[in-house]
Amino acid sequence: MSQDQDKTIASIGRTGLIRHIAGYSTFRSEKVVHGIGDDAAVLQPNETSFGLLSSETYVEGVEFDLSFMPFHQIGAKLISAAVSDIYAMNGQPHAVLVNLAVPNRITSDMVDDLYKGIGMACTDYGCQLSGGDLTGSHNALVISITVYGDVEKGKIVYNSGAKTDDAICVTGDIGSALAGLKVLLREKRHWQESDDPVMQPDLSEWDYVVKRQLVPVARKDTISLFHDEGIRPTSMIDVSKGLLHDLQRIATSSKKGAYIYQSALPIDLQTRKVADEMKEDVDKYALYGGEDFELMFTLPEKMVGKLAELSKEFTVIGKITDTAGRIEMQTAEGDVVVFGEEAD
- Cα 320 from Cα 250, distance rounded (Å): 10
Helices assigned H by DSSP within 148-242: 176-193, 207-214, 220-229
Check: CB of residue 320 under 8 Å from CB of residue 162. yes
237 is a site residue for a second copy (CB under 8 A)? no
Q: Which residue type occupies 340?
A: G
Check: CB of residue 153 under 8 Å from CB of residue 277. no
Smallest gap from residue 315 Cβ to a second copy (A)? 29
Closest CB to a second copy among residues 81, 210: 81
144-163 residues in contact with a second copy (CB under 8 A) are 144, 146, 148, 150
Check: CB of residue 153 under 8 Å from CB of residue 110. no
Residues in the chain: 344
User: Within its chain, how far is the Cα of 215 from the centroid?
Assistant: 13
Among 74, 78, 88, 118, binds a second copy (CB under 8 A): 118
Among 70, 119, 201, 325, binds a second copy (CB under 8 A): 119
Q: Which stretch binds a second copy (CB under 8 A): 107-115, 216-224, 307-315, 316-324?
A: 107-115
Q: Which stretch binds a second copy (CB under 8 A): 116-124, 174-182, 202-210, 246-254?
A: 116-124
**Residue 98 backbone dihedrals phi, psi, to 5 degrees:** -125, 120
Closest CB to a second copy among residues 38, 292: 38
Check: CB of residue 267 under 8 Å from CB of residue 174. yes
User: Within its chain, how far is the Cα of 95 from the centroid?
Assistant: 19
Closest CB to a second copy among residues 33, 264: 33
47-106 residues in contact with a second copy (CB under 8 A) are 47, 51, 53-59, 61-63, 94-95, 97, 99-102, 104, 106
Q: Is 114 exposed, middle or buried (0-12, 13-18, 19+ CB in 10 A)?
A: buried
Q: How many residues bind a second copy (CB under 8 A)?
A: 82
Among 131, 300, 305, 340, binds a second copy (CB under 8 A): 131
148 - beta bridge partners? 53, 95
Among 137, 311, 323, 330, binds a second copy (CB under 8 A): 137
278 is a site residue for a second copy (CB under 8 A)? no
9-48 residues in contact with a second copy (CB under 8 A) are 9-12, 14, 17-18, 20-22, 24-29, 31-32, 35-36, 40-41, 43-44, 46-47
Closest CB to a second copy among residues 12, 185: 12
